[in-house]
Amino acid sequence: MADVMIQTPYLLYLGSTSDPLAIKTSRGIAMFRQQDCVGEFVRGEDCLTLGLPRMSFAEAAKAGAKTLVLGVASAGGALTDELVADALEALEAGLDIASGLHGRLRDVPALVEAAERNGRMLFDVRDPSGDLKVGNGKLREGRRLLTVGTDCSVGKMVTTLCIEAAMKARGYNADFRATGQTGILIAGSGVPLDAVIADFISGAIEELSPPRHDGGWDLIEGQGSLFHPSFAGVSTGLLHGAQPDAIVICHDPVREHMRGLPHYQVPTLARTIAANLEVARLTSPDVIPVGIALNTSSMSEEEGRALCEAIGREHGLPCVDPFAHGADPIIDRIDECFGNSTQSTRRSA
Of 249 and 280, which CB lies nearer to a second copy in the complex structure? 280
The only residue of 45, 138, 316, 349 in contact with a second copy, by rule CB under 8 A: 138
Q: What secondary structure does DSSP assign to 215-248, as a single string?
A: S-EEEEPP-S-TT-TTTHHHHHHHHHHH--SEEE
Please report, as residue ranges, which positions from 187 to 226 form the binding site for a second copy (by CB under 8 A): 193-199, 201-203, 226
17 vs 230, beta carbon nearer a second copy: 230
Q: What angle do CA 64, 93, 33 make, to 5 degrees?
A: 40
The answer to the question of residue 227 lying near a second copy (CB under 8 A) is yes
Which is nearer to a second copy, 7 or 230 (by Cβ)? 230
Q: Which stretch binds a second copy (CB under 8 A): 15-23, 33-41, 75-83, 231-239?
A: 231-239
Establish if 73 lies at the interface with a second copy (CB under 8 A). Answer: no
Q: Rule CB under 8 A: say whether 229 interacts with a second copy.
A: yes
Q: How far is the CB of 208 from a second copy (least distance, A)?
A: 14
337 lies in the site for a second copy, by CB under 8 A: no
CA distance 33 to 31: 6
DSSP assignment letter at 253? T
User: Does position 107 bind a second copy by CB under 8 A?
Assistant: no
Q: Which is nearer to a second copy, 55 or 191 (CB)?
A: 191
Q: Around Cβ 117, how many Cβ atoms within 10 Å? A: 10
CA distance 105 to 18: 24
13 three-state secondary structure: strand
Rank residues 259 and 333 by Cβ distance to a second copy and give the closer one: 259
Q: CA Rg, the chain, in Å?
A: 20
Alpha helices in 74-127 (DSSP H): 81-92, 109-118
Measured in whole angstroms, how far is the alpha carbon of residue 100 from the centre of its chain?
A: 13
Answer whether 24's CB lies under 8 Å from 73's CB: yes
Q: How far is the CB of 159 from a second copy (least distance, A)?
A: 21
Confirm or reject binding of residue 240 to a second copy (CB under 8 A): yes
Residue 170 burial (10 A CB sphere; 0-12, 13-18, 19+):
middle
| Count of CA atoms in the C-beta half-sphere (13 A) of 5 | 7
Q: Which of 189, 236, 295, 342 touches a second copy (CB under 8 A)?
A: 236
By CB under 8 A, tell whether 148 contacts a second copy: no
Binding-residue pattern over the window 278 to 297 for a second copy, x denoting contact by CB under 8 A: xx--xx--------------
Q: Which residues bind a second copy (CB under 8 A)?
A: 134-139, 193-199, 201-203, 226-227, 229-238, 240-241, 260-261, 263-264, 275, 278-279, 282-283
